[in-house]
Amino acid sequence: MERAIAEAEAAARRGEVPVGAVVVDGATGTVLAAAGNRTGELSDPTAHAEMVVIREAAAGLGAPRLDGCDLYVTLEPCAMCAAAIGFARVRRLYFGAYDAKGGGVEHGARIFDHPTCHHKPDVFGGIEETRCGALLKGFFADRR
């Protein structure tokens, strides 16, 4: 989670919403991809940190599935990212702050609870929740 937080901090310095994500090989602990949000930089509404690292890790592995991989992200994934996590077959999802407004895992769409969901990772929320939440609150407070 430390690496994901560092990616979130870097995203904030670029003016992006401070969310960071890391894909790790669950067997070796090797980081396969790490990134922060890039929606503004790329003018791409799908360039959430989770989407960026899923794409990068899959490309690096040369496979559309991240079997045996774990995803660390500083904020509860939205519905779009949760669906991609399921499609990628991520083994475990660890996230920091809960997102009552835009989350798609524990809130909102609850993607993994749908009977049509083909894969549900093991989910662990609230990892470094206070620290991850403070990054977001500070970012948005500075813009108000």
Annotated active-site residue in 50, 76, 106, 128: 50
C-beta of residue 77 within 8 angstroms of C-beta of residue 53: no
Identify whether 50 is a catalytic site residue: yes
Q: Classify residue 130 as exposed, middle or buried by CB count within 10 Å of its CB (0-12, 13-18, 19+).
A: exposed
Longest dimension (CA), the chain: 43
- Extended strands (E) in 17-128: 20-25, 31-36, 69-75, 92-97, 122-124
Residue 98 CB neighbours (<10 A): 17
Rounded distance, CA 143 to CA 125, Å?
27
Asked if residues 131 and 5 have their Cβ atoms less than 8 Å apart, the reply is yes
The catalytic residue positions are 50
